[in-house]
Amino acid sequence: MSITYEPVVTTSVAKQIAEQISQSILDGRLKADDRLPTEHELAHQFAVSRPTIREALKRLAAQNLIRSRRGPTGGTFVNRLSEEEVRDNLTTAVTLLVSLGAFDLHQIIEARHELEVMCGRLAAERRENSHLDAMAAEIEIQTDPNLSDEEFCASDVRFHRALVDASGNPVLQFLMCAVIEALQPVENMVIFRYRDRAKIISQHKRILKAITARNPQKTEEKISRQMHYLRAQFALAQQEWEDKHSAEMTSED
């Protein structure tokens, strides 16, 4: 009896090929919208089979580095990523790392504290009226007593995003997108039952007042005060979890 087997793909080789092409994109030898050689040409250049090349291209497509187009003018092209797409990819990656336990909440709050203080200092110097209006609008939303916990947390994220935008530094805005969009919601999810909404709103008002007055030192102080408050609430949440876990272990014994 004759048995037909599919060609074997050497994954490690495909990975190495994908990394070489990726490096060519990162160092600028391949630019956005450049067309890659055909599968046949790449197989010849790397001295491998076409299935191995296909596996390498699948890896690059999964990283959103390349795209394929059919037709007479088709082929495989280097992707032109927008800043929004890159931010989304970064946020997704950070969210995944958090879910895998790569960061604990102490590290998240510490990183957020240091970075947000820097953004706050710059915001006090560079803010525009549109930034102040955005933060004030979120504070107004937060004062609604009928706001759900999820809606309050979402408004909290938007307030701090507006603060970061007011820094006027695109690099900090990009880096902070992971903190604001991915890490802060995790932080909120853990401590929302322990924090006092009125306290958070009051802290937001003080931060906004300091930024409005263009007072960098006062802004740093008010942001730090909120971060210390959040750390204290996390400590309460953690203690309650440990007490509950200890009680469960005792009852099992």
Q: What is the pLDDT of residues 167-223, one digit of tens each?
A: 999 989 888 877 777 666 766 666 667 788 999 999 999 999 999 999 999 999 999
Q: What does the angle CA 211 – CA 109 – CA 176 come to, to the nearest 5 degrees?
A: 60
| % of the chain with per-residue pLDDT over 90 | 45
What average pLDDT does this structure show over 1-19? 69
- Res. 68 pLDDT band, cuts 50 70 90: confident
What backbone phi and psi angles, to 5 degrees, belong to 69?
-140, 135
Tell the residue number behind the tokens 């790449």, with chain if given. Answer: 42
Question: What's the confidence (pLDDT) of residue 198?
Answer: 94
What pLDDT, on the 0 to 100 scale, is given for residue 138? 97
Q: Where in the chain is the domain with CATH 1.20.120.530?
A: 84-237
pLDDT recorded at residue 7: 59
Better-predicted residue by pLDDT, 199 or 12: 199
- In this prediction, residue 253 carries a pLDDT of 58
* pLDDT confidence band for 104 (50 / 70 / 90): confident
Greater confidence (213 vs 6) lies with: 213
Task: Provide the 8-state DSSP code for 20.
Answer: H
Instruction: Give mean pLDDT, residues 97-113.
Output: 77
The architecture of the domain spanning 84-237 is Up-down Bundle (1.20)
Residues 211, 158: Cα–Cα separation, whole Å? 16
Indicate where the chain has its CATH 1.10.10.10 domain(s): 11-78
Strand partners, 26: none
- Kindly tell me the burial class for residue 253, based on how many C-beta atoms sit within 10 Å of its own C-beta (0-12, 13-18, 19 or more): exposed
DSSP 38: P
Task: Judge whether 166 and 131 are in contact, CB under 8 Å.
Answer: yes
More confident residue, 80 or 67: 67
Of all residues in the chain, what percent are helix, strand and coil, respectively (each to 5)? 70, 5, 25
pLDDT at 11 over 70: no
Section 147-168 average pLDDT: 92
Topology annotation, domain 11-78: Arc Repressor Mutant, subunit A (1.10.10)
pLDDT at 239 over 90: no
- Dihedrals φ, ψ of 76, to 5°? -110, 125
pLDDT value of position 224: 96
Three-state DSSP at 67 gives strand
The pLDDT of residue 141? 97
Residue 204: its pLDDT value, please? 97
As a whole number of angstroms, the distance between CA 150 and CA 44 comes to 55
Report the mean per-residue pLDDT for the chain. 85
Judged against a pLDDT cut of 50, whether residue 1 lies above it is answered with: no
